[in-house]
A and B are shown apart, each in its own frame.
Chain A
Amino acid sequence: MSPIIDARGLTVSYRVGSASLARLRRRPDPVVHAIDEIDLVVERGASVGIVGESGCGKSTLAKALVGLAPLSAGTFALDGEQLGTRRTPQQTRRIQMVFQDPSASLNPSMTIGQTLRELLRVHDMVPAEQVHQRAGELLELVELPVSLLNAYPRRLSGGQRQRVGIARALALEPEVLVADESVAALDVSVQAAILNLLQKLRTELGLTLLFISHDLAVVRHISDRVVVMYLGKVVEDRLTEDLFRDPRHPYTAALLASAPRMGVERRSGDTALGSEPGSLHSIPSGCRFHPRCPIAQDLCRETEPALLGPTAAQHAACHFAWTNRPDESAHRGGGEPDQGRLVRMVTR
């Protein structure tokens, strides 16, 4: 069976200044790559979490997949069918997004019923006489009372609005649901209910879920696999259990260590990554993480590590991910890692 998502070398670039001025000043073309040659292969029915700090490109990746951000390079096939940025309604329908802030993404002057019915009509999802009934069914699917069809978004609580956001995405009967920080704005008890709903829908409807979040505990709960991004690149891509038990990229390790957790004695600040995340405007040479990396070697400053791993499900982009880490004493020495037995996730 072919994977449902097969993305190769996805790149989204934005121009950040005048090209001719840059030429006059003999500077490189002023372009930043929000995501830079990302490979992502996802099997049908999987739940993949995508994590990273602000600006790492996780939302851009989501937008590129649903066709809201123009691809500068790379290909994206959904279940074998190539999708570009311009998609037919039939293609649009197959991969849908749930946004972070449901109050900003719902039209305040339309009732919930109007919003859903318009969508069903435009996409011709059901015969005209069944549109009303289907809108009601969608609300039931997300566990909302059908009476809310006549309500305006402002009358709904944050959790209810997010359920409407999910119903709206499900109206088009997608195969892939991309949830971009969909529970970030919600209180923890409401968040729990939305996470349970997403899990239920995933099993009942056989959805593939891409869950983008900055919250590691949430990602751990909902995903089978986690993709960690840093400055537009994937740095680690592992099964959730493995990644949380034994992170292989120093960035993942730092990310996990910096999250406060209940019941675990921890002194905040002790594990802090010294500085701010780097900027896309001045990508460091070699490994993008090396200026903040506690185990960086000369090799890291010169050569960008590839995303490699011992099996098809285990990948990390660190020169020392699968070798013994150079410890403090070997900080300046550091042997060349043996990468002969490691494999790439995808072969281009």
Chain B
Amino acid sequence: MDEEMSRTVLSVDDLHVQLTLGGRTLSPVDGVSFHVAAGESLGIVGESGSGKSLSLRAVLGLLPSGGESDGSIRFAFERGEISGDVEQVRGHGVAMVFQEPMTALNPTMRAGDLIAEAVRVRSGLSRRAAKARVIELMASVGIPDPARRARMWPHELSGGLRQRVMIAAALATEPELLLCDEPTTALDVTIQDQILGLLRRLREERGMSMVFVSHDLAVVAEVCDRVAVMYAGRIVETGPVDEVLRSPRHPYTAALLASAPSFQGGGGALATIPGSPPDPREFPSGCRFAARCAFARDDCRQAPYTLAGDEHRATACIHPEVLMEASA
């Protein structure tokens, strides 16, 4: 592996997010660490409330009001290392694509002006020069008839086109790292395929790194090199995406995989996970999945949280051998 590939673009260590809601303080993200190498695509999967989106937002300091984060977030771009101040990286190396482009795009600005704003922030081009760049960017994300679409308002565009406008605006800043928060969840499967194809092409052409948050394991399997599975505010398993999905080492990952209906068919009842995720106001001690885990033992309820393993693969389960026994 050459030097470029081994450079770690984003290092997040021991990230905590505190949310204060109605006088109570929750910790929906509780000690999350992950690293993204140059050119790499990391998927973060988990169910609602697992803290996956908040972790991503915390990276850019985009937490909802009442939210605070601490932990170490370091960026290493071609121009140098940056840590601490997110203002320095927002729009200068990192860009983000959100789930719902209708709420993320300013409804009072035309599509072209939205992208132009991002272009001018980055390059300081004149209005006229920015305009040409906007059309170029819109064409590069596959928006047909870009000159006409640039004059349209967000509400006049279809969901797929809105998402392309948002990606074009993100690319305007020539990011080295693209953060995606469920960018295709609201889209039809055919349009999702187009957007995923676009992201893949952009990554190939620009060598961009990516963090891709999704609840959909099949989508993550397709667009990511590595995956981190989150449960109740913590990463429970990481590794290369195909290995994790083929032979999970945490019972939660295994349960999640078993509960998804298969495209290949196969009837019978789907596997379910008994109970529901723990309340973030009162996380249990020890393994947070223990109460729902088919393999839980007494020591699971006291075990301190550590992600055991190496950089390649790690699991927070203290008895990962049970899964191998179960599948044998």
Contact = CB atoms under 8 A, between A and B. Distances in A.
Contact of B194 (A193, A264, A267, A269): A269
A221 B218 contact: no
Interface residues of B, number: 47
Interface stretch (A27-35, A72-80, A184-192, A306-314): A184-192
A269 B197 contact: yes
B29 to A, nearest CB: 18
B53 to A, nearest CB: 13
A82 interface: no
Main secondary structure of the interface of B (DSSP, over half): helix
Interface string B248-274: 000000011101111111010111110
A255 B192 CA distance: 11
B191 A196 contact: no
A53 interface: yes
B158 interface: yes
A273 B194 CA distance: 8
Given A187-B47, A217-B262, A220-B261, A258 B215 contact: no
B227 interface: no
B194 A272 contact: yes
Contact of B270 (A53, A221, A277): A221
Interface in A251-298: 254-255, 258-264, 266-273, 275-277
A13 interface: no
Nearest to A261: B263
Contacts of A263: 221, 245-246
Given A189-B272, A196-B272, A262-B257, A277 B190 contact: yes
Nearest to A241: B265
Contacts of B271: 192
A195 interface: yes
Interface in A155-195: 157-159, 187-193, 195
A188 B47 contact: yes
A218 B189 CA distance: 13
Contacts of A214: 188-189
A199 interface: yes
Given A53-B190, A259-B218, 20 more contacts: A53-B189, A188-B217, A192-B259, A192-B272, A214-B189, A217-B263, A240-B265, A254-B190, A258-B189, A260-B193, A260-B216, A260-B218, A262-B221, A262-B260, A268-B197, A269-B194, A271-B193, A272-B193, A275-B144, A276-B191
Contact of B47 (A189, A193, A267, A270): A189
B219 interface: yes
B270 A266 contact: no
Contacts of A339: none
Interface centre among B190, B198, B271 (most CB of A within 10 A): B190
A277 to B, nearest CB: 7
B193 A221 contact: no
Contacts of B265: 220-221, 240-241, 244
B160 interface: yes
A187 B48 contact: yes
Nearest to B270: A192
Given A221-B270, A260-B196, A192 B189 contact: no
Contacts of B144: 275
Interface string B19-51: 000000000000000000000000000011000
15 contacts: A53-B188, A53-B189, A187-B47, A221-B265, A255-B189, A258-B189, A258-B193, A260-B218, A261-B264, A262-B245, A262-B263, A267-B197, A268-B197, A269-B200, A276-B160
A158 B262 CA distance: 23
A189 B221 contact: no
Nearest to A185: B48
Contacts of A125: none
A188 B269 contact: no
A303 interface: no
A147 to B, nearest CB: 15
A2 interface: no
B266 to A, nearest CB: 8
B223 interface: yes
Interface centre among A214, A244, A254, A269 (most CB of B within 10 A): A269
Given A192-B259, A192-B270, A187 B245 contact: no
Nearest to B196: A268
A275 B194 CA distance: 9
A145 to B, nearest CB: 13
A54 interface: yes
A119 interface: no
Contact of B190 (A220, A240, A272): A272
B196 A192 contact: no
B262 A262 contact: yes
Nearest to B158: A276
Given A262-B245, A269-B196, A189 B259 contact: yes
Given A216-B189, A260-B218, A269-B201, A196 B263 contact: no
A304 B223 CA distance: 38
Contacts of A262: 217-218, 221, 245, 257, 260, 262-263
The 3 A-B residue pairs with the shortest CB-CB distance in the complex, in nearest-first order: A269-B197, A268-B196, A221-B261
